[in-house]
Amino acid sequence: MHLTPLSFTFSVYDVTATTQLVSQQALKGRGNAGDNQATITCTASQDAVLGEVLPPGQSLPPGRSLNDTVKLTSSVVAVKKP
């Protein structure tokens, strides 16, 4: 089965501080693509330590620690390719 992605969502949630650090979404066709088709959603999550996923040279968000537990979540909404 081949799929055509309609949207991608990515987030980083600081479990230790109970705060959303990053949330981004990219939509195909400004969110209007594939609106007449059945969609399939694929989601993956992973727990990590903030110090392991913080890009090199980026400063810590205020009040956060390199040892904070974070949850990385990515999701794709797609339709079957005809």
pTM: 0.80
Domain map (residue ranges) of the chain: 3-80
Task: Give CA–CA dist 51/65, Å, rounded.
Answer: 8
- pLDDT of 36 reads 73
The residue type at 36: N
Tell me what percent of the residues of the chain surpass a pLDDT of 70.
Answer: 91
**Residue 33: C-alpha distances to residues 2, 36, 55, 70, 71 (Å):** 17, 8, 32, 32, 29
- pLDDT of 34 reads 63
> Confidence band (pLDDT; 50, 70, 90) for 81?
confident
**CA dihedral over 1, 40, 10, 6, signed as positive or negative:** positive
- Please write the tens of the pLDDT for every residue from 6-32: 899 999 999 999 999 999 999 876 656
1 is written with which tokens?
């089965």
Tell me the residue ranges of DSSP E strands in 15-81.
19-27, 39-49, 69-80
Task: Give CA–CA dist 63/17, Å, rounded.
Answer: 8
